[in-house]
Structure 1
Amino acid sequence: MTALDPVRLAAELIACPSVTPEEGGAQQLLAQWLSAQGFAVERFAAGAAPHGPVPNLIAVRHQGDGPHFAFAGHSDVVPPGEGWTDPPFAATRRGDLLYGRGAVDMKGALAAFVAAADRVREHRGTISLLITGDEEGPAVHGTRAIMTRLAERGLRPDMILVGEPTSSSRLGDMMKIGRRGSINAWVRVPGTQGHVAYPHLADNPVARLVRILARLQTWEIDRGTDWFQPSNLEVTELVVGNPATNIIPGAAAARLNIRFNTLQSGADLAEAIRRIALEEAPRAEVEAMISGEAFLTAPGPLSALVADAVTAVTGLVPELSTSGGTSDARFLSALAPTVEFGLTNATMHKLDEAVAVADLHALTAIYAELLRRALA
């Protein structure tokens, strides 16, 4: 039997315009390929407007007693934007590179894992693929809905690999064993509108908001851990909306984001922001949205398994890192030890996103080696 070519699979996936939350034919392709390999495939839509419906896919191949190894990822991509050299969904091959939206993040990894599973047909235990169409979006009805469906079916992985593009300069130089959490907060300070010449008849909310932000900007949340940098707060928007030069505004607002480590929880940070705001402006309103909690899969059997597979194929020993933004690993880590490993991330979300053809073949070999070691 001729082995599946990950480059061809990646090109076919890239050709699917699956901008969040559109399926675009990508999960249909995955279902066809995986069914042909003996996977039982379930596709389902979760949620409703405004954050749904979201296409999701669970594929399971069970071959007797043994561990359950899950590969997690997403078929959706960010909007391509204008200015591409070639159409973003044309999957153009130029020289040693394959171009297209999703080549790196993360249709290349999806193709590599499908090709790897095809090469490891004989194994003990279970291989599953957990694929959402809403990782790049609100992430409300994607991986979390998949986790609910797994619980309903009585399925629980023993280890999870998320195929995000984690490599930095060369394929295999970095893997992620944790991620920081993220919280957004909106602070609104009401005041009393009035004429600037009669400030005693008004209450300027800008002054109160500035005091709140000054305290938040100098807040040393923590000093970090062995695996995480210090938690960091950034103000991301200021809104007054006052078109006149001689009016004290009636309200002022700000938005901020905190990327935090495992010393913090989203709920505690939200409460701290609320306390500071109310101390400076008793009528302040604070709304917080926790995108995900920080997590760490401490170095151990899973990270060693992945690192050994990487070294066997590339000769590199991957750095264990918690850098970067969030991923769906923040949800999946509640199920089982979870790490992330995939392609180099230099062009993800950029114009002319591209993956090296050689990296697709190497990643396929790494994933196949990982499956053999995990399910021997």
Structure 2
Amino acid sequence: MSHAPIDPIALTADLIRCPSVTPEEGGALQLLEKLLSGAGFDCTRVDRNGTPNLFARWGRPCANRTFGFNGHTDVVPVGDAAAWTRDPFCGEIHDGWLWGRGATDMKSGVAAFVAAAIDFVRNTPPDGAIILTITGDEEGPGKDGTVALLDWMKAKGEAMSVCLVGEPTSPERLGDMMKIGRRGSLTCFIEATGVQGHSAYPHRAKNPLHALVRLLDRLASHELDRGTDHFDASTLALTTIDCGNPAGNVIPARASARLNIRFNDAHSVASLSKWLRAEAAQVEAETGVKFTLTIDISGESFLTPPGDFTRLVAGSVKAETGLDPALSTSGGTSDARFVKDHCPVVEFGLVGKTMHQVDERVEVAQIGQLKAIYSRILTDYFN
């Protein structure tokens, strides 16, 4: 029985019309589950703590080789809806662009891979399996999304040999960049506790602001590194300093600050945490002001070294676009930081210029081209 090819543009539009603002499912995963089930994929909802997730597999469990895809259907809030040129969930095409929240990040990527995977298994059933892990929690806390899917897979004996994450990765033209790793990220909350007093008698107080500023200067002035083979230099950014003091003649008892470190593979959360606490202890000894540090971990840095899998993806991109994608580790975090503990992972997707913006939109032609790239990746992987 012959089947018409799945149209990734129409599927993207249908997904955009699902108002799946984190943590709402909005009907997006239901739509995908129905489509994939109808094409012979075994689908399971792996919801955890109210977070919606979908696992879909074509082929037998524990196959010799299994190609995995990871993506998300949740989107960030629209912001001021009145500032949009068109309804944020219209999914309409105007002047060659498909409009709506999630058009770029990343309902188009999910639609392109789903369309490629369904057409592929219908036309050339592979010797192996294809797994899709689609979460509704990438834009949220990230604790019960892809992590929940991977936990469930481990418990069920399901595994991916390699995984492609369909996040937008191309800065200017589709095909100009793919991600083979990401920097790690941690946020440090610092609270300084001193002794309140009158600003005219500073010797009777213990000013937490002076100590905090001294510590922050030490941290911000420190060169973490100069980059590594595949990563730029690590960065530390101060993001806020607060004391909530309304009086000009009072030395406050407490002050706080927050900083974020984006770090390469020369560091780990453990090594950076040790350094932060050592610096705080030094200033505490010098000033008598007590520091309390709370460290929130977004993820460790990781790298998929250039090799067979990266060459496979890069070769497929070049065959369809004529571009040699740069192998990059730039940008923020993605769910690839969780997948990397399961199997080799790379990221490739659309141009991301409008993601998270008012009037988010994607060039219609890019969606079809992305499906063609994903189709070639599947063909080359199994053949």
TM-score (norm 1): 0.97
Q: Is the 8 A contact 2:46 2:148 kept in 1?
A: no
Shift of 1:202: 1.0
Superposed CA offset, 1:274-318 (max 9, x none): 111121125210000110000000110111111111112111111
1:164 is matched with which residue: 167, 187, 210? 167
Name the counterpart of 1:280: 283
Cα distance in 2, alignment partners of residues 66 and 152 from structure 1: 19
Name the counterpart of 1:332: 339
Name the counterpart of 2:27: 25
Cα distance in 2, alignment partners of residues 313 and 123 from structure 1: 21
Cα distance in 1, alignment partners of residues 78 and 127 from structure 2: 41
Cα distance in 2, alignment partners of residues 248 and 70 from structure 1: 57
Superposed CA offset, 1:49-77 (max 9, x none): xxxx2111110011595411000011110
2:59 is matched with which residue: 57, 62, 82? 62
Runs (5+) with no aligned partner, structure 2 = none
Cα distance in 2, alignment partners of residues 146 and 171 from structure 1: 29
Paired AA for residue 57 in structure 1: L
Partner of 1:156: helix, strand, or coil? coil
Cα distance in 1, alignment partners of residues 200 and 221 from structure 2: 33
Whether 2:4 is the aligned partner of 1:2: answer: yes
Partner of 1:88: helix, strand, or coil? coil
1:291 is matched with which residue: 298, 310, 318? 298
Superposed CA offset, 1:158-178 (max 9, x none): 100000000111111110000
Name the counterpart of 2:246: 243
| More moved, 195-204 vs 240-249 | 195-204
Cα distance in 1, alignment partners of residues 238 and 84 from structure 2: 32
Whether 2:135 is the aligned partner of 1:132: answer: yes
Superposed CA offset, 1:144-203 (max 9, x none): 111100101101111000000001111111100000000000011001111111212211
Cα distance in 1, alignment partners of residues 203 and 15 from structure 2: 64
Q: Is the 8 A contact 1:189 1:281 kept in 2?
A: no
Paired AA for residue 106 in structure 1: M
Cα distance in 1, alignment partners of residues 277 and 322 from structure 2: 50
Residue pairs, 1:139-158, within 5 angstroms: 139-158=142-161
Shift of 1:85: 0.5
Residue pairs, 1:70-149, within 5 angstroms: 70-82=68-80, 83-121=83-121, 122-149=125-152
Runs (5+) with no aligned partner, structure 1 = 48-52
Partner of 1:46: helix, strand, or coil? coil
Whether 2:315 is the aligned partner of 1:308: answer: yes
TM-score (norm 2): 0.95
Q: Is the 8 A contact 2:185 2:298 kept in 1?
A: yes
Cα distance in 2, alignment partners of residues 266 and 232 from structure 1: 14
Paired AA for residue 305 in structure 2: A
Whether 2:322 is the aligned partner of 1:319: answer: no
